[in-house]
């Protein structure tokens, strides 16, 4: 097997069906051997629940009844047969050249992993909130560029299976998020070479409830707290606390001027405050669990 596409899902049947359909439409090299693994993380899911089709691709469904995204991802890794693991989320849709682009660049470049762009899309544009789509945009890089930790995530990833021989997603982060940041940070520290593949694009379909300032502020705090908890694991973590407090103070100072610059500026400034506050919270041992 060349590639195992690993999908963790939780009560998103429509999103999962859309993702599987897009995987079935992919244009693949004639000799590519690809399997799709769907790990259902719903403890109440039926054992015999049928999956939507994914074209001619082989799809395996397994259950991980312990409610924890890290455990679900580890379950997929454990049964994967591919030399490469491709990670994609159940609220995303891949473009037809997605996996072919990853395979082509992996053949050209001897790296340990590739990451691609995630483009935000409104699931219900008629319900408004489109002005907040820009807040979901992630950084993009030149093809082949080294990928920083902030852009190494399981939203759109293609990683060598052998890297998981002695590494795994940590269940401690399975309800707070950040399990991918923690793992890929560990692999980078070990010398892993992660590169960018701009042609391997996926679209992320956002429900209306996420296209709201309140949701964005909560997400900024959650991301900051997860980063703080990751840094707290380092022996020299106390030295990071003054920097986090200084970043929080700086963000608070800039908040009043941003209030006079329009809604978008106000929101970005408030998100910086929430992110910095989350880092302080995490460094002090706090845990914010977004996934209940």
Report domain extents, the chain: 3-209, 213-283
| pLDDT at 52 > cutoff 80 | no
pLDDT band for position 169 (cuts 50, 70, 90)? very high
pLDDT band for position 160 (cuts 50, 70, 90)? very high
Question: How much is the pTM?
Answer: 0.93
| pLDDT at 43 > cutoff 70 | yes
CA 263 – CA 250 distance, rounded (Å):
20
pLDDT at position 48: 59
CA dihedral 235, 238, 244, 245 (to 10 degrees): 170
108-123 pLDDT tens trace = 988 999 999 999 999 9
Q: Mention every residue, 6+ apart, whose C-beta is less than 8 A from residue 243.
A: none
pLDDT at position 53: 74
| pLDDT at 47 > cutoff 90 | no
pLDDT at position 41: 94
| pLDDT at 292 > cutoff 80 | no
209 or 49: whose pLDDT is higher?
A: 209
73-91 pLDDT tens trace = 999 999 999 999 999 999 9
Q: What is the mean pLDDT of residues 104-111?
A: 92
CATH number belonging to the domain at 3-209, selected among 1.10.3720.10, 3.90.550.10, 1.10.10.10, 3.30.70.60? 3.90.550.10
Q: What is the mean pLDDT of residues 161-184?
A: 95
**Burial profile 139-167: b = 16 or more Cβ within 10 angstroms, e = fewer:** eebebeeebebebbbbbbbbbbbebbeee
| pLDDT at 49 > cutoff 90 | no
Mean pLDDT of all residues in the chain? Answer: 93
With H, G, I as helix, E, B as strand and everything else as coil, classify residue 4.
strand
How many other C-beta atoms can be found within 10 angstroms of the C-beta atom of residue 136? 17
pLDDT at position 127: 85
């Amino acid at each position: 097997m060349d590639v195992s596409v690993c999908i963790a899902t939780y009560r998103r049947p429509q999103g999962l069906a859309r993702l599987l359909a897009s995987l079935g439409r992919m244009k693949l090299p004639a000799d590519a051997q690809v399997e799709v693994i769907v790990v259902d993380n719903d403890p109440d899911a039926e054992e015999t629940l049928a999956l939507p089709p994914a074209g001619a691709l082989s799809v395996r469904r397994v259950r991980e009844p312990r409610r924890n995204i890290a455990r679900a991802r580890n379950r997929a890794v454990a049964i994967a047969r591919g030399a490469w693991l491709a990670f994609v989320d159940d609220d995303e849709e891949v473009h037809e050249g997605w996996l072919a682009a990853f395979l082509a660049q992996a053949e050209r470049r001897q790296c340990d992993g590739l990451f691609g762009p995630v483009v935000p899309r409104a699931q219900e544009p008629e319900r408004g909130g489109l002005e907040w789509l820009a807040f979901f945009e992630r950084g993009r890089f030149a093809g082949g560029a080294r990928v920083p930790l902030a852009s190494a995530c399981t939203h759109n990833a293609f990683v060598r299976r052998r890297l998981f021989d002695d590494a795994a997603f940590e269940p401690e982060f399975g309800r707070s998020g950040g399990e991918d940041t923690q793992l890929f940070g560990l692999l980078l520290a070990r010398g892993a070479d992660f590169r960018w593949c701009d042609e391997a694009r996926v679209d992320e379909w956002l429900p209306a409830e996420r296209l709201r300032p309140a949701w964005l502020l909560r997400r900024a705090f959650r991301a900051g707290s997860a980063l703080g908890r990751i840094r707290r694991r380092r022996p020299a973590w106390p030295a990071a606390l003054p920097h986090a407090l200084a970043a929080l103070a700086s963000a608070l100072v800039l908040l009043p001027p941003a209030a006079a610059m329009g809604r978008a500026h106000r929101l970005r400034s408030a998100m910086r405050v929430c992110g910095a506050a989350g880092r302080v919270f995490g460094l002090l041992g706090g845990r914010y669990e977004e996934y209940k």
